[in-house]
Amino acid sequence: MEPATATRSTTSDDIPDRTHFYVDGAWVAPLSTETIAVENPVTEEVLATVPAGTPADVDRAVAAARAAFPGWAATPPADRAAALGRLHAALAGRADEVARTVALELGTPYKIAMRVQAGLPLAVLESFVALAAAPPAEEVIGHSLVVREPVGVVGAITPWNYPLHQVVAKVAPALAAGCTVVLKPSELTPLTAYLLFDAVEAAGLPPGVVNLVTGTGPVVGEAIAAHPGVDLVSFTGSTATGRRIAHLAADRIARVALELGGKSANIILRDADLAKAVRTGVGNAYLNSGQTCTAWTRMLVQRDNYAEAVELAAEAAAGFRLGAPFESTTRLGPLASATQRERVAAHIARGLADGARLAAGGLDAAVPQTGHFVAPTVFADVDPGSALAQEEIFGPVLAIIPFDDDEEAVAIANNSRYGLAGAVWSGDPERALAVARRLRTGAVDINGAPFNPLAPFGGYKQSGIGRELGVHGLAEFQEIKAIQR
Report, as residue numbers or ranges, the catalytic residues.
259, 293
Instruction: Describe the crossing of helices 77-92 and 95-106 by its angle, rounded to 10 degrees.
Output: 70
Nearest to 278 by CA among 179, 425, 396: 425
Indicate the residue among 53 and 178 with the shorter CB distance to ligand NAD.
53
Give the phi and the psi of residue 471 in degrees, each rounded to 5: -65, -30
CB of 278 to ligand NAD, least distance (A): 24
Nearest to 109 by CA among 158, 49, 41, 164: 41
Q: Looking at residue 417, what DSSP letter applies?
A: S
- Strand runs (DSSP E) across 214-342, as ranges? 232-236, 255-259, 265-268, 298-302
d(CA 101, CA 119): 14
Q: Where on the chain is the footprint of ligand NAD (CB under 6 A)? A: 157-161, 184, 186-187, 216-218, 221-222, 225, 236-238, 241, 244-245, 259-261, 293, 343, 392, 394
Residue 295: CB atoms within 10 A of its CB come to: 29
d(CA 251, CA 196): 32
Q: Are the C-beta atoms of 73 and 149 separated by less than 8 Å?
A: yes
Nearest to 249 by CA among 266, 229, 263, 269: 229
CB of 390 to ligand NAD, least distance (A): 13
Helices marked H in 204-273 — which ranges?
A: 222-225, 239-250
d(CA 41, CA 49): 15
Q: Are the C-beta atoms of 373 and 324 separated by less than 8 Å?
A: no
d(CA 461, CA 258): 11
Indicate the residue among 237 and 371 with the shorter CB distance to ligand NAD.
237
Q: Are the C-beta atoms of 67 and 232 separated by less than 8 Å?
A: no
Q: Are the C-beta atoms of 84 and 176 separated by less than 8 Å?
A: yes
Indicate the residue among 10 and 238 with the shorter CB distance to ligand NAD.
238
Residue 199: in which H helix or E strand, if any? helix 190-203
d(CA 367, CA 213): 36
Nearest to 222 by CA among 201, 241, 197: 241
CB of 206 to ligand NAD, least distance (A): 26
Residues 244-258, buried b or exposed e (16+ Cβ, 10 A)? Answer: bbbebbeeeebbbbb
CB of 283 to ligand NAD, least distance (A): 18
Q: Are the C-beta atoms of 178 and 150 separated by less than 8 Å?
A: yes
Q: Are the C-beta atoms of 175 and 181 separated by less than 8 Å?
A: yes
Indicate the residue among 112 and 129 with the shorter CB distance to ligand NAD.
112
CB of 193 to ligand NAD, least distance (A): 10
